[in-house]
Structure 1
Amino acid sequence: MSLVWIILGLLLLVVGGEFLVRSSVALSFKLNISKMVIGMTVVSFATSAPELLVSLNAALTGSPAIAINNVIGSNIANIGLVLGITALVSTIGVDKSFFKLNWPVMIFFSVLLYIFLRNDSQLTSIEGSVLFGLLIVFLFVLIRAAKKEDVIEEVDESLSVVSNFKIILWLLIGALALYFGSEWLVDGAKDLAKALGVSDAVIAATVIAIGTSVPELAASVIAAVKKEKALSLGNLIGSNIFNIGSVLGLTSIIKTIEVTEATILNKDIYWMLAFATVLLPLVFLPRRMDISKYKGLLLVAAYAVFVFLAFSA
């Protein structure tokens, strides 16, 4: 039964996330916000909402391990699973912003999270405020860079003519779906952990992380098949930065998150740091500035090892 609740919870989170993104973008058009800012901020925050609700729900209901490993596991899955499988479908080109801005910032956020957690085995409201504040600074730098390069963000312009009634309705549907989806997912994850005799942290880093990465995986694979240039390593790196800065940042501002399971600091966070770090040599060796099928296979294999060790420990 726990698997049923997890599947239903994930489905509701996908539905809720989609309605929240649509309503947020439509509302932004009403407020005359530019397409570029909508694409780089509004959409990014809205797509992080499912993970935020899961972590917040877990923290408030006494499951801090799920709150933390929901993010750590998602960051590992984004690189090992999503990027790996997408590269197997089609080689991914990498632009210069990868090593000039995106990758260094992801490493910085990852290491900062490690330092905060290792320091006193908790993420306090002050530390959360620092993470969220730095995310805002990062977004400001991104927007300035995009303006200089005249970057045009892909935003659904049909949402600019949506009625106020629809916007409110979509917001309500999104909010309700996200609320109940996070409730069912966290409850199902706790029950599944008990049934399998593993910790909440293991389920959060694997089952929940894979589940919340499925929409992103589907979108990336479809884009790869269609040979769309919009497919970008920067999108996945940006997602990892957002997970730490907004999901863990905002959650810990509301409630301090304590590290209750040793595997989080002894193993899981090192896996996250390793996957983040290995991207640099992968991009440059042996062929520069691309993630080829062979590199994708290496990432997927490494992710499979991570999942295997998580359950066999």
Structure 2
Amino acid sequence: MILFTIAIIAGLLLLVWSADRFVFGAAVIAHRFNVSPLLIGITIVSVGTSAPEIIVSTMAGLSGAGSLAVGNALGSNIANIGLVLGVTALISPILLEKGLIKRELPLLLIVTLVTGYLLYDHKLTVIDSIILLLFLLITLYVVCYKNSLDSSQADNDVIDQEEATKTPLGKTIGWFLVGLIILLLSARLLVWGATNIATSLGISELVIGLTIVAIGTSLPELAASVASAVKGHHGMAIGNVVGSNLFNLLAVMPIPGLIATTWVEPGVFSRDYFVLLLSTMILFAILVFFKQKNSLGHFAGSFLVVGYSSYLLWLYQTHQSV
């Protein structure tokens, strides 16, 4: 028990430190290349924090458990909206960029609808996966090209200008990569310690899976988004969530379908996909509603967290009745 407790404490400390270094590296990279933090969040940060989902999806596809990979991608996206964005907004209000509501969020909604259409027959084929990957290329082009036309700069007011300028680019990229690696490893260490403590206390594997493991896979996104918002890199914070969701649907989910035709359990589509679609539509409505205030605050954060908690409770009750 002592070892597991130490693992949790060490995991939390490393998670906070690595998130700080990871976000600092990403912010300085945005500053050095004079690009929008939103673009960095949607691309580099989201791809990095989605690494656990990529590994799970690949291993599941190779072992013939492709349905698990599809469920993992959908579940991660639900957690990103309800848990990651909700908790981040509770800790520090997130300033909204106009381009996000006009471009990236509608794109996410379209991708979510296309994913539902492809999963409607409860299977993911090679053709389906290729379609999703084509949408990935289109999405990357639209996001990168449109953001490059924006006049928004890096968050120069919240970056130490002297440190950002004097820090060598190689060292900045090094901090970014070291922060990402330790971020992912510390999340795994935290989940390992919490899972073993829960098991020793007699908590069922179902409850552990629905809570500790489910939340654990979203810890990198949560830590990166909270650190970004606290440091004032708001575009990076919300860009991480939107980018991770796009990446999960267009790059993570197709992996098992490329390996072999993947049959998806009916419950994954009828329950998890529709919760994801509803969550995405609610997020869109919330951002449009709060557009005049230009920020996502405590009220919206509370609403998202309560919604995610309700989903976990429903998921638990569904499994209990089976």
- Per the normalisation by structure 2, the TM-score is 0.69
In the alignment, does 2:255 pair up with 1:250? yes
Question: Which AA in structure 2 matches 1:80?
Answer: G
**Separation (CA, whole Å) in 2 of partners of 1:61 and 1:246:** 19
Q: For residue 272 of structure 1, what is the aligned residue in structure 2? A: 276
Q: Match for residue 170 of structure 2?
A: 161
8 Å contact kept, 1:116–1:123: yes
Amino acid of the residue matched to residue 276 of structure 2?
A: M
Cα offset for 1:53?
1.0
Amino acid aligned to 1:282:
I
Relative to structure 1, is the Cα distance of residues 210 and 151 closer, same or farther in structure 2, using a 3 angstrom cutoff?
same
- Which residue does 2:297 correspond to in 1? 292
Are the structure 2 counterparts of residues 229 and 305 from structure 1 closer, same or farther at C-alpha, using a change threshold of 3 Å?
Answer: closer
The question of whether the paired residues in 1 share the 8 Å contact of 2:111 and 2:249 is answered with yes
**Closer/same/farther in 2, CA of residues 153 and 250 from structure 1, 3 Å limit:** farther
Tell me the CA shift for residue 217 of structure 1. Answer: 1.1
- 1:160, CA displacement in angstroms? 4.1
1:310 is the counterpart of 2:312? no
Partners of 2:253 and 2:90 in 1: CA distance: 31
Task: Provide the C-alpha distance between the structure 2 equivalents of 1:208 and 1:255, rounded to a whole number of angstroms.
Answer: 26
Q: 1:263-284: per-residue Cα shift (whole Å, max 9, x none)?
A: 2012111110111000122123
1:90 to 92, 110, 115: 92
**Unmatched 5+ residue regions in structure 2?**
156-163
Give, in angstroms, the shift of residue 133 of structure 1. 1.3
- Conserved? CA contact 2:81–2:304, under 8 Å: yes
Structure 2 distance, partners of 1:82, 1:229, is: 14
Give the alignment of 1:102-181 within 5 angstroms: 102-119=104-121, 121-151=122-152, 160-161=169-170
Change (3 A) 1:285 1:47: closer
Contact 1:129 1:250 in 2 (8 A): no
Determine helix, strand or coil for the equivalent of 1:62: coil
Distance 2:63 2:281 in 1: 33
Which residue of the partner structure matches residue 227 of structure 1? 232
C-alpha contact (below 8 Å) 1:93/1:232 kept by paired residues: no
Q: Conserved in 1, the CA contact under 8 Å of 2:229 and 2:237?
A: no
Tell me if structure 1 keeps the 8 A contact 2:74–2:276. yes
RMSD over aligned Cα atoms: 4.2
Q: Name the amino acid aligned to 2:117.
A: I
Verify: 1:217 aligned to 2:222, yes or no: yes
Q: In structure 1, what residue type is equivalent to 2:305?
A: V
Alignment match, 1:61: 63
Distance 1:310 1:207 in 2: 14
Partner of residue 50 from structure 1, selected from 52, 67, 73: 52
Contact preservation (8 Å) 2:228, 2:237: no
Of all paired residues, the percent bearing the same amino acid is 30
Q: CA deviation at 1:138?
A: 1.1
The equivalent of 2:306 in structure 1 is 301
Q: Is the 8 A contact 2:113 2:277 kept in 1?
A: yes
Within 2, Cα distance between the matches of 1:293 and 1:122? 39
1:216 to 1:107, Cα distance in 2 relative to 1, 3 A = same
- By how many angstroms is 1:220 displaced? 2.0
The residue type equivalent to 1:234 in the other structure is G
**CA 68–206 in structure 1, closer or farther in 2 if over 3 Å, else same:** farther
- Distance in 1, matches of 2:168 and 2:253, equals 30
Q: Distance in 2 between matches of 1:125 and 1:208?
A: 29
Per the TM alignment, residue 36 of structure 1 is displaced from its structure 2 partner at its CA by 5.2
Look up the match of 1:263: 267
